[in-house]
Structure 1
Amino acid sequence: MFFLGDRLEFPPVEAANEDGLLAVGGDLSPERLLLAYKSGIFPWFNEDALILWWSPDPRMVLFPNKIKISKSMRKVLRNDQFRLTQNTCFEEVLDNCAKVQRKGQEGTWITPKMKLAYLDLFEKGFAKSFEVWEGDVLVGGLYGVDLGHVFCGESMFSAKPNASKFAFIKMVQECEENGYKLIDCQVHTEHLESLGAEEISRDFFMKILQDQLYTGQ
């Protein structure tokens, strides 16, 4: 196990164990977080625990042109039930994501320190939120880290049926329009798979992340 000190560094991702755990410790400074995401690493840990850094193999991703939209969601996208905004209430989206009860997970990994760290990234222009409104009420949304050619999705919430799917699909469509190569979904879930996400090798993911190839998928 690699224990991080004060130096701004990470071990190579190939050093991660079979669960994807790479390192422990360090801090949540914007500089370290950006280095992590650019290196194929993300933090994920419970409240009052040491910071854990992960780089799983395989990696769950979505190629933007492979988004799956069901007939029912196409209808939702066509009607005027929801409207989408960007970066209008990042902190509120963050707060709502932290409150979501997730299967097999005790508490939230969006701790107060983590929240402050992502707010700092947002203020520096490296994080982004997508908000879903029903009238004037925030009913869904997601946020993530924006690397310019890869969007690293972090968390989403839904207070109304289909609201988070609406945010996710709209985000993916915008990424495709703007030439993004990949949406990083990190780890497998059936929900993400139903939307078109798939697992690829960490090596392939790293090549895309480091802009070493154009997938053409």
Structure 2
Amino acid sequence: MKYFLVYRTELLQLLQIFENGACLLNNDKYAMMSLIDESNFVIEEKNVAEQRNLFTLVLGDDNQYNQISPQSSEKILFDQSDGDPLIENSLMNLIHTITHFNIIQNCNDITNLSTIYNRIVQSIKSLDRYSVNNLEELQPLISLLQVIEMLTNNPLKTFRSVIRYISTNINIFQSCQLIHEFIQFLRGEIYQDSDRDDQSIDRTLTKLEAELLRNW
């Protein structure tokens, strides 16, 4: 009750963020609860399970928070904001989950996906007490979706071609060369399904490649 009285606006913002996330998870209660489950918070380091699929917050004997990234056992100092560490960790888990390949590949409406991503980004940025360090993972995806929507006549068809490419080249964003090869593939797909002139397409894709290199 005290939290609601002091941070009423923030609470409503947080509820809206997780509600938008739930839309991408098909309102799966189990998936949503896993993001805020108490197993994501460990007080004694010896109780940390290795190689978890979500961010884990660890409170050490010195009352210092550390965090373990998904699929890792390495503890790093948690860059704590002014807000509640558990909420910050849960927001990071939300971003990690909704950018997972399984979520993206099941998309049948890229306009809706892009819109929800944008809502989540803007809502998190409007929070005064939370920074959410992995929020930048969403922006390249949003930009990719927007480029496909803007340049192609059949965005969903092109998007599905991109998903098939990613599914067979799962590490495409791990190096500059692989990102460049992806952009070359995307350029070929867009050339086949666009009324835009080649110069306009190339200019847009050059900007996208620069963003992918910067954020991925």
TM-score, structure 1 as length reference = 0.22
Identify the structure with bigger relative contact order (alpha carbons < 8 Å, sequence gap 6+). 1
| TM-score (norm: length of structure 2) | 0.22
Which structure: greater strand fraction? 1
**Higher-helix-fraction structure:** 2
